[in-house]
């Protein structure tokens, strides 16, 4: 019995590691584990089921991510993995790991702030420039190159940058 | 070649999900018409992003409606194989884009409502609807902020932008009453704790509008006559034209997939 449990937990770890290696196609420095998109991995005998949660309702990256997870699991030796999409609890940028935030900054994207700033009306937020660290920045557009980002500009170093919106 | 319309068994819960799905799909489609045409690149991206959020919400709601119905329908059939009279969206969301002011006033009226509506729906006893609401309310907050800022910029801008924004408000006002109306089927869902009463949100919706419109130096109309019909499938002439574009691929090549 103990050996069976050990085998299952070892299998689950391998399946989790395989799924967690998948990166966001739009922000390839972040894995789906960094993002908090990977919610659960269940191994039952030879079957593996991965639960993911969408970032934004219409995020086109989700189909790509689901496909990449299947490929990663097949490569790791799991046959016919199932992907389940869960909506609840709703994804929040608060789930993003500290490591993920640092990776984002290094990639030139300002990481999300605390969720409470979401309802601050009319741009009442201070976002630090990921290039020079200055807080003298301004919002150019509430919506950026992907659903999860807004477009900002640094008034100190003059560089435009993406801000990962809190959600 | 013509594909026959599907039949939908509209129980109160199916109809409820369809109405919200149709609102999101039709408004999302309208916004997508700006893609490549918006007055500046940032707005092109903003309107396309909002369209994407709405179409994402529509997909979840259609899938849920199909699951509740339990027949052979799915999200694609519900979107592509119903005709005008089978659509249940608000008249507001099918109104043409007009000029930029008209698009943003339509968005502002809807987003100010959707923001309150989805926030309240998070407490629904129906766990799927509550989960969809929890995602949608986060997105709606951004949509409302975007359109509010534009109403202020247009209203408190030039004489031309002020006049166009006021004309859009006056023109679209009569389509806002429908957001707060419910029929008997929906009232039963409200009593069961599955839906919430939109009528209870009207006061707060008006406060949001008054705050923004006031700062924009614009005025809300005093007229209280409201046009209804969309929820029951009686639409303006514009929806048929919209659907002919939205559905043209599936109507021309039935069952075609990528």
Q: CB-based burial of residue B165 (10 Å sphere; 0-12 exposed, 13-18 middle, 19+ buried)?
A: buried
pLDDT at res. A45:
81
Q: Touching check for B114 and chain A: CB below 8 Å?
A: no
**Structure-token match 């009279």, residue found:** B85
pLDDT at res. A2:
53
Percent of the residues in chain B that have a pLDDT greater than 90, as a whole number = 94
Which residues of chain B neighbour A118 with C-beta distances below 8 Å?
138, 141-142
pLDDT at res. A39:
95
| Option in B46, B52, B134 nearest A58 (CB) | B52
pLDDT at res. B96:
98
Which residues of chain A neighbour B149 with C-beta distances below 8 Å?
122-123, 142
**Structure-token match 């630090």, residue found:** A128
Dihedrals phi, psi of A38, to nearest 5 degrees = -80, 115
Interchain contact, B134 vs A89, CB within 8 Å: yes
Tens-digit pLDDT profile for residues B9-62: 999 999 999 999 999 999 999 999 999 999 999 999 999 999 999 999 999 999
- For residue A2, give every residue at least 6 positions away whose Cβ sits within 8 Å of its Cβ, in sequence order, or none: none
Q: What is the mean pLDDT of residues B201-227?
A: 97
Whether residue B21 contacts residue B78, with contact meaning beta carbons closer than 8 Å, is answered with: yes
Nearest-angstrom CA–CA distance, B140 and B110 = 9
Interchain contact, A119 vs B50, CB within 8 Å: no
- Partnered with residue A153 across adjacent β-strands are A138, A160
Interchain contact, A57 vs B59, CB within 8 Å: yes
Q: Touching check for B138 and chain A: CB below 8 Å?
A: yes
Partner A, chain B 200-229, Cβ-Cβ below 8 Å: none
Interchain contact, A141 vs B135, CB within 8 Å: no
| Option in B50, B138, B145 nearest A121 (CB) | B145
pLDDT at res. A122:
45
pLDDT at B91 over 60: yes
Interchain contact, A87 vs B134, CB within 8 Å: yes
Whether residue A114 contacts residue A166, with contact meaning beta carbons closer than 8 Å, is answered with: yes
| Option in B43, B131, B141 nearest A87 (CB) | B131
B254 or B14, greater pLDDT? B14
pLDDT at res. A121:
46
pLDDT at res. A124:
54
Interchain contact, B127 vs A88, CB within 8 Å: yes
Tens-digit pLDDT profile for residues B93-122: 999 999 999 999 999 999 999 999 999 999
Interchain contact, A58 vs B135, CB within 8 Å: no
Whether residue B91 contacts residue B250, with contact meaning beta carbons closer than 8 Å, is answered with: no
Which residues of chain A neighbour B139 with C-beta distances below 8 Å?
56-57
| Option in A58, A92, A141 nearest B46 (CB) | A141
Ranges of residues in chain A whose predicted pLDDT is under 70: 1-6, 114-124
- For residue B251, give every residue at least 6 positions away whose Cβ sits within 8 Å of its Cβ, in sequence order, or none: B2, B3, B80
Q: What is the ipTM of this complex?
A: 0.81
Crossing angle of helices B127-155 and B159-172, rounded to 10°: 140
Q: What is the mean pLDDT of residues B155-173?
A: 98
pLDDT at res. B208:
97
Whether residue A50 contacts residue A82, with contact meaning beta carbons closer than 8 Å, is answered with: yes
Which residues of chain A neighbour B127 with C-beta distances below 8 Å?
88
| Option in B28, B52, B57 nearest A147 (CB) | B52
Pairing of strands A160-164, A109-110: parallel
pLDDT at B71 over 60: yes
Q: CB-based burial of residue B224 (10 Å sphere; 0-12 exposed, 13-18 middle, 19+ buried)?
A: exposed
Q: Touching check for A58 and chain B: CB below 8 Å?
A: yes
C-alpha dihedral (A128, A133, A134, A139), degrees to nearest 10 = -30
pLDDT at res. A16:
96
Interchain contact, A87 vs B128, CB within 8 Å: yes
Q: What is the mean pLDDT of residues B137-164?
A: 96
């Amino acid at each position: 019995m103990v050996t069976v449990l050990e085998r299952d937990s070892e299998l689950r770890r391998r399946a989790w590691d395989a799924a967690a290696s998948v990166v966001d196609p739009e922000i390839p420095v972040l894995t789906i584990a960094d993002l908090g998109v990977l919610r659960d991995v269940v191994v039952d005998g030879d079957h593996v089921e991965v639960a993911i949660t969408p970032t934004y309702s219409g995020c086109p990256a989700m189909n790509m991510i689901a496909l990449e997870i299947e490929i990663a699991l097949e490569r790791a030796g799991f046959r016919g993995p199932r992907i389940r999409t869960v909506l609840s609890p709703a994804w929040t940028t608060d789930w993003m790991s500290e490591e993920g935030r640092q990776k984002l900054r290094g990639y030139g994207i300002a990481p999300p702030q605390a969720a409470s700033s979401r309802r601050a009306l009319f741009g009442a937020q201070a976002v630090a420039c990921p290039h020079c660290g200055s807080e003298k920045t301004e919002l150019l557009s509430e919506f950026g190159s992907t659903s999860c980002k807004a477009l900002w500009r640094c008034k100190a170093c003059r560089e435009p940058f993406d801000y990962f919106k809190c959600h | 070649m013509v594909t026959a319309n599907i039949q939908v068994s509209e129980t109160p819960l199916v109809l409820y999900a369809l109405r919200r799905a149709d609102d999101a799909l039709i408004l999302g489609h309208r916004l997508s018409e700006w893609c490549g045409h918006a007055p500046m690149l940032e707005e092109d991206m903003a309107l396309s992003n909002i369209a994407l959020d709405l179409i994402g919400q529509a997909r979840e709601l259609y899938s849920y409606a199909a699951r509740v119905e339990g027949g052979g329908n799915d999200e694609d059939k519900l979107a592509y194989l119903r005709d005008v009279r089978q659509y249940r969206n608000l008249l507001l969301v099918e109104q043409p884009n007009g000029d930029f002011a008209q698009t943003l006033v339509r968005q502002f009226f809807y987003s100010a409502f959707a923001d309150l509506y989805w926030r309240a729906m998070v407490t629904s006893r129906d766990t799927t609807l509550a989960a969809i609401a929890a995602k949608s309310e986060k997105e709606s907050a951004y949509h409302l902020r975007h359109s509010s800022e534009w109403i202020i910029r247009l209203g408190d801008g030039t004489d031309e932008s002020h006049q166009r924004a006021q004309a859009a408000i006056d023109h679209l006002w009569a389509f806002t009453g429908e957001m707060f109306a419910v029929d008997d089927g929906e009232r039963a869902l409200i009593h069961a704790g599955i839906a919430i009463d939109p009528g209870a949100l009207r006061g707060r919706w008006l406060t949001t509008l008054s705050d923004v419109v006031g700062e924009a130096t614009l005025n809300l109309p005093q007229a209280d006559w409201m046009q209804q019909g969309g929820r029951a499938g009686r639409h303006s002439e514009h929806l048929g034209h919209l659907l002919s574009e939205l559905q043209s691929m599936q109507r021309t090549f039935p069952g075609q997939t990528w």
